Structure 1
Amino acid sequence: MPKTAAALDFKSASLHVLRAVLHTADTAELTRALEQRMKEAGAFYENEPVVLDAQGLDQAPDWQALAAALRRHRLHPIGVRAPQALLDSARQAGLAPLDISTGRQESRADAPARTAQARKPGPETAPARHAKPAPTEAPGDTDAPVPPAVADSPAETLVIRHPLRSGQRIYARGGDLIVMGMVSQGAEVIADGHIHVYGPLRGKAMAGARGNQHAMILTTQLDPELLAIAGVYRVVETRLPETLHNRPAQIELDGDTLRIRALQAGH
């Protein structure tokens, strides 16, 4: 008797997803907000599985239109959290009810289930979002030019010994990233641990990419487009105060707030 059942097994698995919290049922408004979020964050959120969290709504958005909008931005809707009254319409749109943990992750080895809530950006505050790069393989410590793609290494520390041009994207998987030179406007640096930039930081920097809330960003010259730690990000649309602009700085996470601190010589 053929053992056909051996061709497939079910095993338990952790579910690590981006949680998109919906604050309105107005699908057009949600689509515009998504467009703006993705424009701000660049490629940080590409290829993420997404759970739509409608727990705070009393009526359903157009699930199919919202799911289609997410897919256009290379996000993958896999289910919903919603009151019982909204679940039938979600099921009809092909979205299954899902119960996910919303707790923060402390270990860098754990992928976070983070909240994508709309908070009003302030000087040191950013909406909580999560970024998970889609890397390709590259050496861990190299002097060779990096192509405008992702350099990825499982090593503890990835060292880049040259400036990064616009369009280049570096991801230090499982460890820290050190850049010995400028991160140009339009470039992206991402690490599961800390990010050190010994030169002007003018592009986007995301530390603690897989949920390490203790990760930091340090640079000798701060002038970024975007800063993020463990999914909490701030888009820098206007020039930073003189006490921070083009100064040595340290960025760390304090709850849901990014704290930016100027570093003085000798400290």
Structure 2
Amino acid sequence: MQAVERRPSGRLPLRPLVAALATLVIAATAAVALGPVSLPFGDVLLELIGRIPGMSVESDLTERQAAVLWELRVPRVALAGLVGALLSGAGAAYQGSFRNPLADPYLLGVAAGAGLGATLVIAGGITNPAMLTAAAFVGGVVAVVITYAAGRIGGGSPAVTLILAGVAVASFFTAVQTFVQQLSSDTVREVFAWILGRLTTVGWTEVWIVTPFAVVTGAVLVMHRRHLDVLAVGDEEASSLGMATRRVRLIIVLAATLGTAAAVSVSGLIG
């Protein structure tokens, strides 16, 4: 009797997802329990479970300990998870779109654009964190828009041209950022503090800012995961299979870019 080959279904693999989710929960619980202020691990776990709708569990945390947990540690850990998810998802999307295993989330100039936007705001003496976040986000998006426009000029492979355009745009934006820093040398420390990345000063506001972008980016990338598999065989082969490669790549790159820009705008150039 001839064995029938089983083809993989379109569903996401369950076991790796469960294992990843369990690891994330354990790591997040440990992260919010550890720190300068000692929080009992068991009470932290009960406190977290008690916030789940329908769960009436109480912990023995004091009011001060609960404030440290919910106002300082939980938003930092939540934002760290969102930023990590956005950057890793964007990196995987870029690698699949451009068939380059060395591609990273900052490939198309997002980091350079965000850095320039933040530098302009800091050098201008604006101390409003919301303005800094907005400027970094706009700078990252503008850099990628310029990259994509430049990448459409000329012939050759669209993926290769786009990567080269990203390198050129990133170099230009970095040069402009350095020039601005030289003009405002008194703000160099603040600029480098932002560029190095930080999560120590974030709160729930930053979490709510990033969450919509994480949802949209994640949904778009998951819906296009099969398209990424097809792009892996090359543009010509993908086109012969009926895929509009330019449109699909544009959607994937746009989603990954928005997620990366949102992550960078609240955390700095982490990664």
Place the TM-score, normalised by the shorter chain, in its bin: under 0.3
Give the TM-score normalised by structure 2.
Answer: 0.23
Higher strand share: 1
Give the TM-score normalised by structure 1.
Answer: 0.23
Larger radius of gyration: 2
Structure ranking higher on relative contact order (CA contacts 8 Å, 6+ apart): 2
Higher helix share: 2
